[in-house]
Amino acid sequence: MPTLIDGRAVADRILADVKERAAALVARRGRPPGLAVVLVGEDPASRAYVRSKAKTCAALGFYSVKHELPADTTQEALLALVETLNLDPLVDGILVQSPLPKGLDESAVVHALDPAKDVDGFHPMNVAKLALDDPTGFAPCTPLGCQRLLLEAGVETSGARVVILGRSLIVGKSLALLLMQKGQGADATVTVAHSRTRDLAAVTRDADVVVAAIGRPRTLRAEHVREGAVVIDVGINRVDDPSDKRGYRLVGDVDFDAVAPQCRAITPVPGGVGPMTIAMLMQNTLKAYGQRTEG
């Protein structure tokens, strides 16, 4: 049986460390780290995620503010709120929950963020800093979580062949940049595959580590993974399941039952990458607080 990489346990350790470091900084600087979350519309998954963020902030002793806006909010009103938060001295990190309702320009909102408060890591300046190995920037939280899971699981990435299935900035592109950097948890030889990749199974079978982040349930199957590989499953997909009282269950982008027996280590869904995203958001918020209050 493979080793299950327990994202919840790793996230708990990260949050405990963030809480301890935050308390030490607050003792010297007089105010807690602050995170503002903006939620537009009524998307149930987004609402649940925002509640989880607020709960985590409270547990860490962070200042937390939530702005809930109706789905018919105008672009101008949303940008005005972002500018208000940019100027708020108590707010160190700003997160505008995605996806936004139709009619709102998400790219314009990201561009409007103060890069020093962009704890989601999507502002062009932070993307550039990631590409340039500038440690003052912010990397997106899910890729950071994936990298940390590999470290915590003792997976040697230096010289390893890593295939990332999915080319979004949210995961694929950003994780590729992280793993290509020099240093611990990096120095990997990275291939980014996607829906147009020819003979995908041949590409992924060559990998020591496969990261599935394509957004389609059970896409990565047994024939895609060689014996002894490590698999990180980023996907969270709802599939119909009449036997579940909710009428659905959550599965990843990996066909877990078929792939797991071949792996040295694998993340479950749920309980793998998911908890890490919030943990890394809190770590990024603490980093923003430290950089804004240093000196």
* Residues that are catalytic: 53, 97, 120
Alpha-carbon span 19 to 39, nearest angstrom = 25
> CA dist 53 to 4, 49, 197, Å?
25, 6, 36
Across the beta sheet with 3-4, the strand order is 3-4, 263-266, 229-233, 209-212, 161-165, 189-193
Alpha-carbon span 277 to 232, nearest angstrom = 14
Phi, psi of 189, deg, nearest 5: -95, 110
Residues 6+ apart with CB under 8 A from 65: 34, 35, 36, 37, 91
Phi, psi of 270, deg, nearest 5: -80, 180
